[in-house]
Structure 1
Amino acid sequence: MSGVYHLEITESEQALKALLRNQTTASDKERIQLLYLLKSEQAETIQQAAASLLGRHRVTIQTWAKRYRQGGLEALRSHKPHPGGKSTLPDWAETALRNRLEQPEGFESYEAIRQWLALELGIVAPYKTVHKWVYYRLGAAPKVVRPKSDKPDEAQIVAYKKTG
């Protein structure tokens, strides 16, 4: 019959359930969950486990089953994490930008930061990328000057200082 797996799971259902609770990463949890679903007969085939229960492609699940067949739990759980993309902002440029952001005058906007990067450091980056670097990675923001009245009312300032 097509889709029937031939996988001898040596761990007990209770051991897999306990192991499932102790997983710290989602990818390890998914792999152990595959074994648990097959051992507890909640899934009869790799196809059923993949599509409806785990939400993964059948080939991915078959790869996991092959790993388990070849080396047991250790082989199933040994995988390289994907670190993501490398930052497009070099370390030296990030240091220069951080130093510039710490200066009192700062920048008026993210566009001003983008222009400074292009003129001073020769790094051309989209607005969205600059915003992400500055706001999320460096934890900074442009210094925006707030409007100030030409004729401040001294009585209101004193009253605010007393209550505020």
Structure 2
Amino acid sequence: MSGVYQLEIKETVAELKDLLAIQKTAMAKERVQLLYLLKTGHGQTISQTAEMIGRNRVTLHKWIRQYKAGGIEGLLEQKFSPGRPRSIPNWAEKALDKRLQEPQGFNGYQEIVEWLSQNLGVNSCYKTVHKLVYYRLESCPKVPRDKSVEQKQPQVEAFKKTLHTT
């Protein structure tokens, strides 16, 4: 019969059915479904199987080539793009984290931007530094200010006691 695809699928129907049930992504389900339909005979041709899955036959041929080359692992392998590189490199991030742990701290995020530029040669904008320090490093650039010399310790203790009584 013309158009019938001769593919030797190593997995059994039961294995494919179990594999189909445990797939978490739609991409993986479609690919295992292709093998299942071809193995059970429900999809007699690639065109017919493509229509059942809702994909183009060229896509199914690509998946079959992946299966032939790497088996089921090669077919289900997900490729991830690395994404855009960070504007502040990891080494600078570690140096900044170490500097944030020191007691003198910074007066604000703009001072951190200037420190990165002058000391490490890393140019970045205010918003990037804020996101890095506040969200990623979970830190705060400011340090506690000095206490007033006019402040009297017994009054502070009395205030603390009355503060939490409600």
TM-score using structure 2 length? 0.60
- 1:131–1:158 Cα change, 3 Å: same
Q: 1:114 Cα deviation (Å)? A: 1.7
Q: Is the 8 A contact 2:19 2:32 kept in 1?
A: no
Q: Which moved more, 1:8-17 or 1:108-117?
A: 8-17
CA separation in 1, counterparts of 2:65 and 2:82?
A: 24
Q: 1:94 Cα deviation (Å)? A: 2.1
TM-score using structure 1 length? 0.60
Instruction: Flag structure 2 segments of 5+ consecutive residues without an equivalent.
Output: none
Point out the structure with max Rg over C-alpha: 2
CA separation in 1, counterparts of 2:104 and 2:17?
A: 58
Aligned with residue 35 of structure 1, among 5, 13, 32 = 32
RMSD over aligned Cα atoms? 4.3
Q: Is the 8 A contact 2:66 2:75 kept in 1?
A: yes
Partner of 1:142: 141
Partner of 1:46: 50
CA separation in 1, counterparts of 2:127 and 2:57?
A: 37
Give the number of equivalent residue pairs.
151
Identity across the alignment (%): 38
Q: 1:12 Cα deviation (Å)? A: 4.3
Q: How does 1:92-103 map to 2 (within 5 A)?
A: 92-103=91-102
Cα displacement string for residues 74-111 of structure 1 (whole angstroms, at most 9, x for unaligned residues): 33134554333333323432232111110123234333
Partner of 1:160: 163
Q: How does 1:1-164 map to 2 (within 5 A)?
A: 6=5, 8=7, 10=9, 11-22=11-22, 26=25, 30-36=27-33, 39-40=36-37, 44-46=48-50, 49=53, 62-78=61-77, 80-143=79-142, 156-161=159-164, 163=165
Q: 1:31 Cα deviation (Å)? A: 2.8
Instruction: Flag structure 1 segments of 5+ consecutive residues without an equivalent.
Output: 52-56
- 1:59–1:130 Cα change, 3 Å: farther
Q: Which moved more, 1:114-123 or 1:41-50?
A: 41-50
Q: Is the 8 A contact 1:113 1:130 kept in 2?
A: yes
